[in-house]
Amino acid sequence: RQSKWRMFKEMLCVLTFTKPGIDAYRVVIGAEQEVGALVNPKNDMLFTKSSELLTEAIPGTVIQTYAFLTGPSQSGVAVF
């Protein structure tokens, strides 16, 4: 029963987009690895941030660069 409640709370954090903040809080306070957890809070945050970088930031940068380079007009201000 306790593990289902814990899983529900973690899923709610993911769905409400608060998981990065909660992960950072757990790392800052030095939370220990919980019983039954696969990784400690620091590694959990590392995996979350790495997957976020690979799936959001890099493709977004590529798309924006492509749009800038193939756009009809280019402003010198847009470079900065």
pLDDT of 76 > 60? The answer is no
Distance CA 76, CA 24 (A): 38
pLDDT of 58 > 80? The answer is yes
pLDDT of 61 > 80? The answer is yes
Give 31-37 contacts, CB < 8 A, sequence gap 24+: 36/3
Model pTM above 0.85: no
Q: What's the confidence (pLDDT) of residue 65?
A: 86
Tell me the per-residue pLDDT of 11-28, one tens digit each, with 9 for 90 and over.
999 899 898 888 889 888
pLDDT of 36 > 90? The answer is no
